[in-house]
Chains A and B, each alone.
Chain A
Amino acid sequence: MTEPRWPVAEFDPVRRLRVIAATTPGATIHERVLDAPLAAVWAVAADLEGELPFWLFPDVRSVRLTTTAAERSVAHVVGYSGLRARFDVVLQPGWCLMQSRFLLGGMAATPEDGSTRFAFLGSFRGPLRLLTPLTRPLNGPTGRRALTRFAHRVEQHRY
């Protein structure tokens, strides 16, 4: 006997990142629709070692990944300022979350009308959360500039 085919709700990685943003104190999420297919966008986003230093923040000098399990890695990030941080990383198709003692970062992407919606999230953790009110005015411009750099990287790889 045939079973009824019940509708299943749509839900994409960008919405999942919005959930994290809405429930993480001080988190800021930035989104942009990029005129490129998901595969092209995620190829840049998922290349943490090769691409993050070019678009995320100007201080990021290098990222070195060590795989620890399926879809799990540890990223060692070194900044020009001398800052060093160790991030636990989850990297899946369309989804990435990075967590250090003091920072949380995330990326997500989903197809949208022939283009791709890309989102990234940033937040202070632990004692650095006290900085959140001070950096809030900078979040908008900083995030928009990072998205612009990211869009340029996607374009460079496509053409």
Chain B
Amino acid sequence: MGPTPPRVDPGHLVGLVRRAQAADPMARSDLLELLIPSVRRWCGPIALEEDADATQETLIAVLRTLHQLREPAALFGWVRTIAVREAIRVAKQRPRPAELTELPTPGDPQLIVDVQDVLTRLSPEHRAILMLRDLEGLSEHHAAELLAVPVGTVKSRLARARRSFAKEWKT
């Protein structure tokens, strides 16, 4: 399942990516403008206070490796993978204690009331899974693939979620 890109004409997107790959600065600037809203949405929940650094590092990594993107239509999925990787990396440079070891289930009332508070109590990897599942609507299989971890790891992080999260929340 690919991310939902902003409404952009597919033909325009192909042309824009090709010109950006040819190192046309104007095209690169236009491409950044197109990508920035999505990258901010992906990096915010994972990087928290390091959000701006994570967004900047993501966009630098995107432009530096843009020549590797063979299929322009896959742009947003490709950028999302980079954003998650960079946001986790940047967040880990300033580690904070993770109080929660399990994730809340989708629709958990506490998640709706204050997702920011829940995020601050999770590790960067857990925040990434939560964002991919609840914000992006990815399956466990796809989230595991994107994070390059076994699907069992994602499942175990999600499995006992509600009971564990509710317990932690109440204490």
A residues near B26, Cβ cutoff 8 Å? 88, 90, 97, 99
Q: Does A19 contact B (CB under 8 A)?
A: yes
Contact: A23 with B60, CB < 8 Å? yes
Q: Does A104 contact B (CB under 8 A)?
A: yes
> Smallest CB-CB separation from B40: which chain A residue?
A9
Q: Does A80 contact B (CB under 8 A)?
A: no
Q: Does A20 contact B (CB under 8 A)?
A: yes
- In B4-27, the 8 Å CB interface with A consists of 25-26
Q: Could you tell me which B residues sit within 8 Å of A by CB distance? A: 25-26, 28-30, 32, 36, 39-41, 43-45, 47-48, 51-52, 54-56, 59-60, 63-64, 111-112, 115-116, 119, 131, 134-135
Q: How far is the CA of A12 from the CA of B28 in the complex (A)?
A: 16
| Given known A3-B112, A9-B39, contact A90–B29 (CB-CB < 8 A) | yes
Closest beta carbon of chain B to A101's beta carbon, Å: 12
Q: Could you tell me which A residues sit within 8 Å of B by CB distance? A: 1-12, 15-16, 18-20, 22-24, 88, 90, 97, 99, 104, 125
Closest beta carbon of chain A to B38's beta carbon, Å: 10
A residues near B32, Cβ cutoff 8 Å? 16, 19-20
Q: How far is the CA of A23 from the CA of B27 in the complex (A)?
A: 13
CB<8 Å pairs between A and B, sample of 14: A4-B115, A7-B119, A8-B40, A8-B41, A9-B43, A9-B54, A15-B56, A16-B59, A19-B32, A19-B59, A20-B29, A22-B60, A24-B25, A90-B30
A residues near B112, Cβ cutoff 8 Å? 1-4
Give the residue among A2, A19, A97, A99 with the most B Cβ atoms within 10 A: A19
Give the tally of cross-chain contacts (CB within 8 A). 82
| Given known A8-B41, A20-B28, contact A15–B52 (CB-CB < 8 A) | yes
Q: How far is the CA of A4 from the CA of B108 in the complex (A)?
A: 10
Report whether over half of chain A's contact residues are helix, strand or loop; otherwise say mixed: loop
B residues near A20, Cβ cutoff 8 Å? 25, 28-29, 32
Q: How far is the CA of A99 from the CA of B135 in the complex (A)?
A: 38
Q: How far is the CA of A20 from the CA of B52 in the complex (A)?
A: 15
Closest beta carbon of chain A to B35's beta carbon, Å: 10
Q: How far is the CA of A92 from the CA of B82 in the complex (A)?
A: 27
Contact: A23 with B47, CB < 8 Å? no
Contact: A7 with B36, CB < 8 Å? no
| Given known A22-B60, A23-B28, A23-B64, contact A5–B55 (CB-CB < 8 A) | no
